[in-house]
Amino acid sequence: MNGSIIRYILGQVIRLESILMLMPGLVSLIYRESDGYYFLVVAFCGFLLGSLICRKKPQNTVFYLKEGCIVTALSWIVMSCLGCLPFYLSGAIPHIFDALFETISGFTTTGATILNDVEALSHCMLFWRSLTHWIGGMGVLVFLLAIIPMSGGSNINLMRAESPGPSVGKLVPKIRTTARMLYVIYFGLTLVEMIALIVAGMPVFDAVNIALATAGTGGFGVLNSSLADYSIAVQWIVTVFMILFGVNFNAYYLLIFGQIKKAFSIEEVRVYFLIILSSTILIAINIFDTTKGIFDAITQSAFQVASLISSTGFSTVDFDTWPTISKTILVMLMFVGACAGSTGGGIKVSRFLLVLKTVRKELSSYIHPKSVKKIQIDDKPVEHEVIRSVNVYFITFLVVFCLSLFLISFENHDLVTNFTAVATTINNMGPGLAMVGPSQNFSFFTDFSKLVLMFDMLAGRLELFPMLMLFHPTLWKQALHLDKKF
C-alpha cells in the first residue's frame, strides 16, 4: 500500500480546508464579530500542520482503488475533526460530540442538526455551516484534483471513491480537466441561484447561505423555521434548484456542448423527473384538505418532494403532521435519493433502475429459460461487474442500516424516531419523523448514538465501502509495513 501518497493527500486536504476557513473569518470582519478569531487560529495551525505533513512529495504517485478509498475516508474524518474546532473553541457548540456531529452533518450534506436555536449563531458560524455543505457537495478531493497538479492516471480512483453513484467516469480524457468541468458547472449553478434569490427579495447574506446549502443539497438554514418564513417566490426558486442539483452532472456537460438530445435521453434523469412529478401530484391530492387551495398544496408538496429526493432537507411545513400516505411517500423518497453523479444523497435512482431491470430479467428467464438478455441503460449493455456491485451495495446498505437501528434502539425511543433517524443520516437527508422531525433536532441522543449516526452520515456520503474498509484487518497489517516499503 502506498502510504506516502496517502500522507501527502491528507496534508493537502488539511491545508485546503485551512485556506477555506479564512472565508468565515472574512465574514466576521464584515459583521465585526469576535468569533472569526477562532477560524483564523484554527486556519493558521491547520495550514502549518498540513504543510509539515506534505512537506515531502512522494516519489511513488501511483495508487489504486484501495488507497483511494482509504485516503477518502481518512480525509473526511480529518476534515470533520478540524472543521468542528471553531464551533467548539468559540463556545457556539460547547460539547465536542455535538460540534463534531454538526460538522460531519455539514460536510456530508446531511443537514441533521443538534442546535435548538440556529439564529443564536454569529454570521461567520452560520456561513461556515453552509460552506461545509458546498465543500462536501461535490467533494473535497474532487476540488483538490481540480486545483492541485497531481500526476498519474490513477487519480480517477480518488473520484471513484468520493463521488456518489454506482459508476464514475471521465467527462474528458484528463481527470483534472473533468474535475474542473464539474466545479465550473457546480459554481455556475450556485451563482445563478444566489442571484435569483436576491432578485426575489431574499437578504444577501441569507441568499448566499441558502444557495451554498442548496448546491450541496445540505439543508442548513439561517432561520429556525428553515425556509417557511420566506416568500412563495423564494420557495419555488429553491425547489427548482434542489431538483437541478439532484440531476446527474453529465447531463449538464452534454447540454453545455450542445448535445441536447443525448442529455434528455439519459434514462436515469427521465425516471428521476417522473418520480418527482408523480410524488408531487399524489401528495398534493392527499394534503389538499389541509391547505389553502390547489396552488398551496402543490407548492408545499413540490418543495418537500424536491427537498427529500435531492436529500437537501429544507422544510417549509412540518410534514410530520401530514397524512400517513404523504409521510410514507417522503420516507420512500429518502431511500431513492437523487441521480448518480449529482450532489444528492440516497441510494440513487440508477441503482433502483438496475435492480428493477435485474428482477425483470430473472422473471423473463423463468418464462424463457434459454433466452439470453443483457440489462441495458441508455441503450448500452451493463457489465456484470456493475450489476454485482449494485447487489452487494444493497446488501451492505441493509446490514449497516439494521445494525445502526439496533445500536441506537438501546435508548428506548420510539421505532419511528429511530428508523427515520438512521434513514435520514445514512441517506444524508436531514429531517426525519417524530422526535427527529422537521421541527425537532438530534440533540436528545446520547454520545454513543451520535457516534453511530455520525458513522452513518460518513458511510452514506462515501457510498459505504470507503468507511467500511477502515475496519478491514488486512489494511491495518499492511499499514504497519508502510515505511519499510516506501
Q: What DSSP string describes 408-467?
A: HGGG---HHHHHHHHHHHHTT----SGGGSTT--STTS-HHHHHHHHHHHHHHHTTSHHH
Let me know the angle formed at the C-alpha of 456 by 277 and 220, rounded to the nearest 5 degrees.
Answer: 60
Instruction: Check residue 6 and give its pLDDT.
Output: 83
CA–CA gap between residue 177 and residue 182 (Å, rounded): 9
**3-state SS class at 377:** strand
User: What distances in angstroms separate CA 316 from CA 219, 230, 421, one per listed residue?
Assistant: 12, 9, 20
Residue whose C-alpha is closest to residue 426's, from 270, 311, 289, 286: 311
Name residues whose C-beta falls within 8 Å of residue 77's C-beta, 6 or more positions apart in sequence. Answer: 458
Provide the residue-wise pLDDT of the chain in tens; the chain has 486 residues: 667 778 888 998 999 999 999 999 999 999 999 999 999 999 999 999 999 998 887 776 666 667 777 888 899 999 999 999 999 999 999 999 999 999 999 999 999 999 999 999 999 999 999 999 999 888 777 766 665 555 544 555 555 655 655 554 445 445 667 777 888 899 999 999 999 999 999 999 999 999 999 999 998 999 999 999 999 999 999 999 999 999 988 889 888 888 888 888 889 999 999 999 999 999 999 999 998 999 999 999 999 999 999 999 999 999 999 999 999 999 999 999 999 888 888 999 999 999 999 999 888 888 888 777 788 887 888 888 888 888 999 999 999 999 999 999 999 999 999 999 999 999 999 899 999 999 899 999 999 999 999 999 999 998 888 888 888 777 666 655 654 444
User: What distances in angstroms separate CA 358 from CA 73, 184, 287, 310, 382, one per listed residue?
Assistant: 31, 36, 35, 25, 11
Cell of 142: 474532487
Cell of 109: 450534506
Instruction: Check residue 325 and give its pLDDT.
Output: 96
CA–CA gap between residue 440 and residue 113 (Å, rounded): 9
Write phi, then psi, for 366 (nearest 5 degrees): -70, -40
Instruction: Check residue 342 and give its pLDDT.
Output: 87
CA–CA gap between residue 302 and residue 305 (Å, rounded): 5
Q: Is 174 left (phi over 0), alpha (psi -120 to 50) or beta?
A: beta
Q: Identity (one letter) of the amino acid at 379?
A: D
Cell of 472: 478491514
User: What distances in angstroms separate CA 483 from CA 7, 10, 68, 313, one per listed residue?
Assistant: 11, 16, 18, 44
CA–CA gap between residue 7 and residue 50 (Å, rounded): 10
Q: Identity (one letter) of the amino acid at 117?
A: D
- 361: how many CB neighbours lie within 10 A of its CB? 14
Question: Is residue 88 within 8 Å of residue 96, measured between CB atoms?
Answer: yes
- The model's pTM is 0.92
Cell of 420: 427515520
DSSP secondary structure letter of residue 383 = P
DSSP secondary structure letter of residue 275 = H
Torsion, Cα 277 282 284 288, to 10 degrees, reads 160
